[in-house]
Amino acid sequence: MTTLEQAEKPALTSPTQDEESQGVETSRNAVLGPSVSRSSETAYSVFTENQKRFIVFIASWAGFFSPVSSQIYFPALNTLAQNLNVTNSLINLTLTSYMIFQGLSPMFIGDFADNAGRRPAYLVCFIIYMGANIGLALQNNYAALFILRCLQSAGSSTTIALSSGVVSDISTAAQRGSFMGFVTAGSLLGPSVGPVIGGLLSQYLGWRAIFWFLVIFAGAFLVLFILFFPETGRKVVGDGSIPPPKWNKPLISFLWARKSSRNDNQEHVNTSSRKIGFPNPFKALTIVFQKDTSIILFSNALLFAGFYDVSASIPSIYSSLYGLNDLQIGLCYIPFGLGSTIASVINGKFLDYNYRRTAKKLDFPLEKNRNTDLRGFPIEKARLQVAIPLLTIGSMTVIAFGWFLNFGIHLAAPTTILFFMGLALTGSFNTVSTLLVDLYPATAATATASNNFVRCLLGAGATALVNPMLTAMGRGWCFTFIALVMMLTTLLLLVVMRYGPRWREERRLKQEAKSQTEG
């Protein structure tokens, strides 16, 4: 039976039996995660391991632009406030607006990417992003800065959701942890190199050079992407063997070997019969309001808010407390980003290890490139067992960071603790992101968009409040309060581990009954 025939064959065991292996999805997929109990006999993806590594590399590079666009801006905050004759509070509002659009824009592009494919979604994002950066480099007033930062965020922030979708396209649950780790490594490299680059450019070439750098860097990525990156969206190419429309192919598409081929008639059926509607942002909201995912997303948002509060407070605190300039402030972010990057790679390996350990304990199939249905498998436990100790350690590092600053301890102490903070908190983020893709493999970009929506809106509020909190509570108690709120997420994740499989099954049965009624 061919891949296309399998995609068209009705599911016999459950309504989602072929979702992950064939990339076929019905209207019920928007709220339904994986649910099965055996391994498929067909390969999940025809891409070779080397091709998958290249795809993940490009996806990781694309995901780098969102955080680097935010973090590269931090060392120049004080300089921008002086040059534009505005207060630090107004400049901080550009951070808040950036995060609001970081949460909203993926809701539109995520659904578009799940239906039209990853390549066109990436292209739309980078065209918007490059145009916004050109405008930012040329603008001369605060209003233009504020608006263009929103557009910059709209263009870059969706790349993280798209990268998660790409991972879901080419990998199964058994190897998803490692791939998600490498993709996340790119997005978390921003906190490491972004402030350093921003500090260097701002110090020696002026703050405008920051945005010209981003234009050039995005252009270099776009050339490589257009030439080589293949379409991976499973609604477009299935397991990778169905040719996409001609306009959606890489320019050097003949370099990509396929394990199987489709004739012209099949390609015509695949491309001409598929309609792409207007992106529906409410699909992401549907995921937000599910029992298990609502708790997961809220927990991740609290952790992210604390993480971002620390990042956003560093320029003003380090400048006033230690008298550092833009470049020196940028260099202080290196341990933060380095810990984050290392954590994303190592944590991915731990996630795969814990998945294998849990599967062996339950005598569950472990084939890497075979679709494994997860009904009856405690995927929530397999993932969150890794997250809980990490978020506890991360919260304690936030407390230590706050009191180091409160007592004015030598710069080396708070800067060193940033490494361990990045190491622990990033591991938590990566784990939750991987679990979300596990729950919604057929609509991974939309699911990740829901994650961005919740965490960025909460993070935007936290960023707006951190300076008043620091003023009112002092550095030590402010960061202690933030850490205690982060620790509360442990209880929420324990609830998901306990009741998540039951809620997932209830959702499956409800959607199965709904589809039978509609049928």
Residue boundaries of the structural domains of the chain: 47-256+281-369+376-518
What value does the CA radius of gyration of the chain take, rounded to a whole number of Å?
23
Of 9-23, 201-215, 255-269, 430-444, minimum mean pLDDT range: 9-23
Q: Which CATH class is domain 47-256+281-369+376-518?
A: mainly alpha
pLDDT at 516 (0 to 100): 75
pLDDT at 246: 83
Q: Which of 92-101, 145-154, 422-431, 474-483 has the lowest mean pLDDT?
A: 92-101
Amino acid 194: pLDDT: 80
Whole-angstrom Cα distance, residue 328 to residue 320? 13
Confidence tier at 493 by pLDDT (50, 70, 90)? very high
In this structure, how many other beta carbons lie within 10 angstroms of the beta carbon of residue 36?
A: 23
- The answer to whether residues 443 and 30 touch, using CB atoms and an 8 Å cutoff, is yes
Q: What's the pLDDT tens digit per position in 6-41? A: 333 333 333 333 344 343 333 333 333 333 334 455
Residue that wins the pLDDT comparison between 19 and 324: 324
Query: What does the pLDDT read at residue 322?
Result: 92
Q: Is 40 helix (H, G, I), strand (E, B) or coil?
A: strand
* pLDDT attached to residue 108: 79
Helices (runs of H) and strands (runs of E) counted in the chain: 22, 2
**Angstrom distance (rounded) from CA 239 to CA 234:** 6
Q: Is the pLDDT of residue 250 over 60?
A: yes
Sign (positive or negative) of CA dihedral 210, 186, 227, 156: negative
Average pLDDT over all residues of the chain: 80
Helices (H), 139-281: 142-156, 158-170, 173-188, 190-204, 208-228, 234-237, 264-272
Cα 174 to Cα 185: distance, rounded to the nearest angstrom: 19
Q: Report the C-alpha gap between 8 and 165 in whole angstroms.
A: 22
Distance CA 174, CA 513 (A): 29
pLDDT tens digits for range 152-188: 988 988 888 888 889 888 888 887 888 888 887 777 7
Q: Give mean pLDDT, residues 63-92.
A: 82
SS3 state at 52:
helix
